[in-house]
Amino acid sequence: MEYYLKDKKVNLIINKKLSKKNLTLTIDDDMNIVINSNYFITNKYIYNFIDINKDKIIKMLDSKLKEKEYYFLGKKIEKVDNYDEFLKKNIKKYTELIIDDIVNNFTYSLPKFTIRYRKMKTRWGVCNNKLKVITLNTLLIKKDLKYLNYVIVHELSHFIYQNHSKDFWNVVEENCKDYKRIRKDLKNGNY
């Protein structure tokens, strides 16, 4: 069904099930707004819910649209075949270019470690201190190199402190002076 959201025409799909307890709203890959709700929730209630949350929904739509665009090093690029493989190949290449400089200038001595790459939904990087492995999200290469640099410094700092204490953040700051702004931009999606 077509629905207008602040002058934007969107498709609305409403699925009602007896087994569903809550009302959930998602955006599918075709940019449809999908509402899953209990069978007894009225359409009037659903439309009211959409109207109350229209700003959030528009933000969700914009975010989903941005996911579909192709970026490399912070710039929009033409469509690339096998984009995920392209990102993985290039994050390896660019990490190899900057890692020695980061490690050599790091203010603490670091253990020998390996770097792995994979696409992750909720994290930019992970440090496994026991195995001495850093895993970087391949999506980082979509952004400017300063974000990759920050995440590498952040994960290397976990070899010194395995938490997010004040001491940990001091190590991060010593090795990435602008980390607060970069971290904030990453969290807010401003890149």
Q: How many CA atoms lie within 13 A of 117 on its CB side?
A: 18
In tens, the pLDDT along 134-179 reads 999 999 999 999 999 999 999 999 999 999 999 999 999 999 999 9
Which of 114, 106, 116, 191 lies closest to 146, judged by CA? 191
97 and 139 part of one domain:
yes
Of 46, 68, 90, the last residue of a domain is 68
110 and 28 part of one domain:
no
Which of 150, 148, 144 lies closest to 75, judged by CA? 144
62 and 77 part of one domain:
no
The rounded distance, in Å, linking the Cα atoms of 169 and 164 is: 7
- Number of domains composing the chain: 2
Both tokens of residue 12?
């609305």
Of 68, 88, 111, the last residue of a domain is 68
pLDDT of residue 191: 61
pTM: 0.70
The rounded distance, in Å, linking the Cα atoms of 135 and 107 is: 21
**Residue 26 belongs to domain spanning:** 2-68
Both tokens of residue 133?
């492995």
In tens, the pLDDT along 27-75 reads 887 888 999 999 999 999 999 999 999 999 988 888 887 777 788 998 9
The rounded distance, in Å, linking the Cα atoms of 129 and 152 is: 14
The rounded distance, in Å, linking the Cα atoms of 77 and 177 is: 30
